[in-house]
Amino acid sequence: MHKRNITIAALVLAGLVVAAFHFFTRLNHSQALGLFYFPSIFLTVILSGGVHSPSAIAAWSAFVGYSIFYWALFIVLYAFLWEIHLLNKAVHHLDDAMTHLSGAELDSRGALEKIGRAIAEVETHRRRNWFLEDAPGLDLSKPPYELALQAIRDAADEKVVKGVMKRLNSRLAARIGREKARGVLAQLVAEKRGGSGS
């Protein structure tokens, strides 16, 4: 997730909410929003030092704080669910890769072609989303096979690569068993990290 962009968006949206409540006082009487912002009452009491009538500064500070918190929480949840959605959309490539990994002989080139397609699809959509951080270690201009090689050799720690490989591992384990799947993927990774291009 792109922390800077999430923070900026949360601050801007919280500012709009606060401005709306300041200029349109009828919003202050909404019961639904009152329940939503109920925890800010406790924060207001804490900020005011426990006096009977909290100051306007304490009330607005609590309101602003909770507005920022709610928007940041909403955006982080959205970004997290969007990452899962993107991985789910690329699953068909991983299903194709499994046919090359679960046969009598390991077809590493065919499997890497499909893995590269999955990585490219997920990362392309991630780069279009303002709240998701790009994986700078991936060159999407490369053909799928070369992209998968690059991912395994140089960018294995990138979030998108980890997500694709983890999803592939779980689906392969469901088909051929956990131990065998772990062995097949370990063989594929070791072979390609060792420099074999075939």
**121-131 confidence digits (pLDDT tens):** 999 999 999 99
**Burial label, 177 (beta-carbon count in 10 A; 0-12, 13-18, 19+):** exposed
Count of positions (residues) in the chain: 198
Taking residues 62-79, report their average pLDDT: 90
| Residue spans of beta strands (DSSP E) within the chain | none
Residue 23's pLDDT band (cuts 50, 70, 90):
confident
What 3-state class would DSSP assign to 49?
coil
Is 60 exceeded by the pLDDT of residue 196?
A: no
Residue 48 in tokens? 């005011």
Q: Give residue 16's pLDDT.
A: 93
